[in-house]
Every structure is written in C-alpha cells, then in structure tokens.
A and B are shown apart, each in its own frame.
Chain A
C-alpha cells in the first residue's frame, strides 16, 4: 500500500544549486499536484498535471519546472535554488478532477542556505 512516495525526505541546498524532487504514485491516478507549505501558512499549488504529457502552472510556479512522462511519476525540478524556496514540499494525486481520492505524500523538507 505505497500510495504517494516522495524522495528525499530532507535536503539542504546551497544558493544557486539545482535538484529534482521525486514523486511517484501506484494508484493509477491521472491527476497529480505539487504544493509547498511555509510555516503557519496553507498549502500553495506550484504545478499540476491532468495526465501523462500534460502539465500546467498553479499559484506559485516561478523557479520550478515539472514533467509528466508517465502516469506514475511527477518530478519537480528546482533550478538556481534561492532562500525563498526553503519550504516543505508535498506531492499529491487524485482520481478525479474534482479531488476524489486525494492522497498526499509525506513531504520533502528543503532548506536553501
């Protein structure tokens, strides 16, 4: 019963470095999402995908890129990391466009120094 798996769980980056946050789901969900959560704030949508090969920007996409080559995987790429990207990142998936079966990963805590 894996659900949504995110790696790594923790990462420290230096300013200007790049990295990819991995997300994979085994529920055959078409819809996948990336969120960030800053302390004391709600989750903000970064990017989402409605199926393999289709992605779109959310509320806070600047500084990030995504791809969706398979149904299972939805990696998030950070280019030229900045301190403002210090946050907890959550990947999620759902089986319907109205949010049925919404399932979250356990998160990646990223610190940029």
Chain B
C-alpha cells in the first residue's frame, strides 16, 4: 500500500522568503506525482504534475523535483507572497489511483 508523508505539517515564513515543501512516498512504482493547493473551504487545484520519467517541472515561481528511486519530491516556491498562504498536498498516482499526503499548511506573513 502506498504511503505518502509530507514534512513539515505547517510552515510560517515572512514575505519574500523561499518555501521548501517535502513529500516522500513508499512505493517507487508510480506513474506520476502531483502537487495540489487547497484554500480553506475550497476544493483542490492542481499546481504541477511530474511524470515518472521527469526529474522536475516548473510553472512560474513554482518548481517541483522528483527522485523516484528514493521516493522523494520537493516543491519550491520562490519569493513567497501572502497569497501563497494555503495548504499544499502531494499525491502520487500508482495502480491508477491517487494517494495523498496530509499536506503542509503554509502561512506567509506580510
């Protein structure tokens, strides 16, 4: 059974600082890994999808890396802004199902 862990559970940083969010998974036989953003009381929004054959994916200030063999992914958010405050969830696709971590709740202080 795939287990996904996210560390830390919560993070508070001043505006402008870079954010580093970590995700680990137990079974390296994955199709892809996705990072989602969840705002309070809202659904999830897909941020980045990294295929198992890729090492990283970038979108604007966001960059996600994937090391499938060691079961790790890292989401980097450059020059954080108060609007980046949200919960970020990592999910891996294996056996045609997504397995989610519990998320990292980020607060960016103005």
Contact = CB atoms under 8 A, between A and B. Distances in A.
Interface residues of A, number: 23
Interface in A32-47: 33, 35, 40-45
Interface in A89-110: 90, 92, 97-100, 102-107
A30 to B, nearest CB: 12
Nearest to A107: B43
Interface stretch (B11-19, B62-70, B93-101): B93-101
Contacts of A74: none
Specify which of B31, B45, B97 lies most central, judged by the most chain A CB atoms within 10 Å of its CB.
B97
Classify chain B's interface size.
Answer: 20 to 34
Contacts of A33: 98
Interface string B28-47: 00011010100001111110
Contact of A99 (B32, B43, B101): B32
Nearest to B101: A42
A4 B43 CA distance: 10
B44 A104 contact: yes
B49 interface: yes
A102 B96 contact: no
Contacts of B49: 99-100, 102
A33 B93 CA distance: 13
Contact of A102 (B4, B46, B99, B101): B46
A45 B97 contact: yes
Nearest to A98: B31
Nearest to A90: B43
A48 B97 contact: yes
A4 B44 CA distance: 11
B98 A105 contact: no
